[in-house]
Amino acid sequence: MTRKPRAFESVLAQIERRIVDDGLTAGDRLPGERQLAEQLQVGRSSVREALRVLESLGVVSSQAGRGPDAGAVLTARPGSALTDLLRLHLGLASLELREVVDTRLMIERWAAARAAEAGADTSALAASIAAMAAAASAEEFVEHDTAFHCAIAEASGNRLIAAIMRSLRDSVRRHAVEAVERLGDTAVLQADHERIMAAIAAGDPDAASDAVAAHLEHAYPELFRG
């Protein structure tokens, strides 16, 4: 039996069509709740619930206001929504850490190879490596390590890949800190970072991809045994 859409779900679909049909982009403003309710011929409570869902998905930012300042503003924060979803599913054990790391392996190998092919600027990578060397704790090391790997994704030139990488790294931050604490000495990881950066700087996609794979095996040896 097909479930009948709830009122706010119909509103979500209509708002999505409006965004597409009107060519709206990040920074544009939707009409206020009352106006939207009138235009869509639904109750204001359904509009309000739909906007709350969109805000949680990083699509809009609700703002109080009247007249021309009324209405939610469209945003572009896909990474935050992906991070929250991944973290929740990891916590519920509907996703395993191995699955997340495998996904990261596939994505980051491609990103590193693409960055090498494009002759990407490696200054952000070098800055992250220097910051990791000066880190005073595992948490601080992971913060700069995350910046390093996200910079690789951004250097690939694919914004979706960059958003997914940021989400993957943020969702497993606690596991990454624990992995660094177990390892103790981060010299191996730092050497891996240097090899990845050198391969990208040299324009060698195969070496960059292989260096990423070796790095993840060093960071999560328990997942790659056997």
Q: Of the residues 43, 74, 105, which one is the last residue of a structural domain?
A: 74
Asked whether 86 and 95 are in contact (CB, 8 A), the reply is: yes
Q: What is the pLDDT of residues 81-101, one digit of tens each?
A: 666 666 666 666 667 888 888
Cα separations in angstroms, 126 against 92, 149, 161, 199 = 37, 11, 21, 13
Residue 19 sits in the same domain as residue 130:
no
Element holding 215 (H helix, E strand):
helix 205-219
Asked whether 100 and 86 are in contact (CB, 8 A), the reply is: yes
Residue 87 sits in the same domain as residue 158:
yes
Number of continuous H segments (helices) and E segments (strands) in the chain: 12, 2
Residue 29 sits in the same domain as residue 101:
no
Whole-prediction pTM value?
A: 0.72
The CATH number assigned to the domain holding 124 equals 1.20.120.530
Q: What is the pLDDT of residues 153-200, one digit of tens each?
A: 999 999 888 888 888 888 788 888 988 998 888 999 999 999 999 999
Q: How many domains does the chain have?
A: 2
Q: What is the pLDDT of residues 20-38, one digit of tens each?
A: 777 777 778 888 888 888 8
The single-letter DSSP state of residue 61 is E
Range of the domain at 139: 79-224
